[in-house]
Amino acid sequence: MRTWRNQLSPAEVSRQQTRLRRLRLGVLGWLVATAVILICRSTGLLPIPIGQQLALHLLAALFLLGLYLLTHFNLNLRFRDPSLTLPHLLFGVFIALWVISHAGEVRPILLLLFSMVMLYGIFRLRAAAYYGLALTVSSGLALLVAYEILTDSLSRPLKLVSLEVVIFAIVMFWTAFIGTYVSRLRQSLHQRNRELEEASRRLKHLAHHDELTGMVNRRRLLTLLEQAQQKGTPFSVAMFDLDHFKRINDRYGHGVGDEVLAEFARRVERELRGEDQSVRIDDSITEMGRFGGEEFLALFPDTDLEGALRATERVRRRIQEAPFATSAGPVQCTTSAGVAESRAGEPLKCLLTRADQALYEAKFDGRDRIKSEPPGSPEGAD
């Protein structure tokens, strides 16, 4: 039994809607079968008493209403197969067998109703259930004929009826074979669609994120900078660089270098955004991304230079506080950073140049430190 929850995920809601659409298609099949029965009865070849026929239609209507209510109120999710396809089909088999037991001469025609039952199974049934349904239908007809033989109520030659049962069984099992094949194709197509959706989602993610660190990439950072600039309020940026990163690559190899970059990104994310990814700097969520190589850029929306310097200093201490665990053992790392605050009407290129120049000064002064241009200093003072 599956756990039923009132709050469904968007994917489950979509599946429920699909199940309701299939149920409506099943109702249409019942209406077609009802029309066939009424036509046969109007010719006088289907002598079903009117009371029994009305009871039959009422029973079918109540059953379908029950399926609809179960699905509509999500109660079907309590069952192993939420589509309830097999119970639906077994009920249809029971009704069809009851009808053909009264059919007489039109029985060969009404046997076609079982094809409608079998075709509906394409939507959900797997091979075992499909062949089991074919066996149930064929056995039901064989038992009905056996009863007629025992009660001496068989109205047609035994040889003809026996041939009818054999051919009917062959057709039912062939229908099950084809239905199973189509069902497998449908499942395969569904799986491929899911894989394509996942690949598409991953490509969209990679278009704006760095694959190694999971951070946003240079392209996305530039877009965010443009959006911050268009907002018209002051913001700040910090350009980070891992100190002596080339030595790490030369000593341990680029694989360990990648591990260091990934760990650096994790530490920075935890420090700037917090463990719950919601810590704010001056009431604005900080965005951090890989700008290229071992350089990273932090964007502090609605944050002045002083606020950005405090946040950047926390990052520097977090990187310095403990060696990075790598496959080659602990690797001690430090970082330097340059911080700059935006100026009204200033191109982004100039802002990034000022941050990069401050980063250069931090490295020139001994690394493992933060530098910034004093607020309001004239452009070109770098």
Could you tell me the mean pLDDT of each successive run of 10 residues in the chain, 382 residues long?
60 91 93 90 86 91 95 92 93 92 87 89 88 95 93 89 94 93 87 90 87 91 93 93 94 94 91 53 66 93 92 92 93 95 93 95 94 59 36
The helix (H) or strand (E) run that includes residue 197 is helix 158-208
- CA 213 to each of CA 117, 171, 339: distance values in angstroms, whole numbers, following the listed order: 54, 59, 22
What pLDDT is stored for residue 113 in this prediction? 87
| Vertex 361: Cα angle to 360 and 367 (nearest 5) | 85
Do the strands 284-285 and 280-281 form a parallel or antiparallel pair, or are they unpaired?
A: antiparallel
- Here the tokens at position 213 are 């660190």
pLDDT at 285: 58
The pTM score is 0.58
- List the catalytic residue out of 259, 269, 271, 294: 294
CA 148 to chain centre: 54
Cα 116 to Cα 272: distance, rounded to the nearest angstrom? 62
* Structural domains of the chain, with CATH: 10-204 (no CATH), 218-372 (3.30.70.270)
C-alpha 236/C-alpha 339 separation (Å) is: 7
CA dihedral 267, 272, 275, 281 (to 10 degrees): 170
Integer Cα distance of 216 and 290 in angstroms = 6
**Distance of alpha carbon 65 from alpha carbon 147, whole angstroms:** 33
Give the rounded distance of the alpha carbon of 125 from its chain centre: 22
Catalytic residue list contains 373: no
If you search the block for the tokens 């950072």, which residue do you land on? Answer: 221
- Provide the pLDDT for residue 373: 74
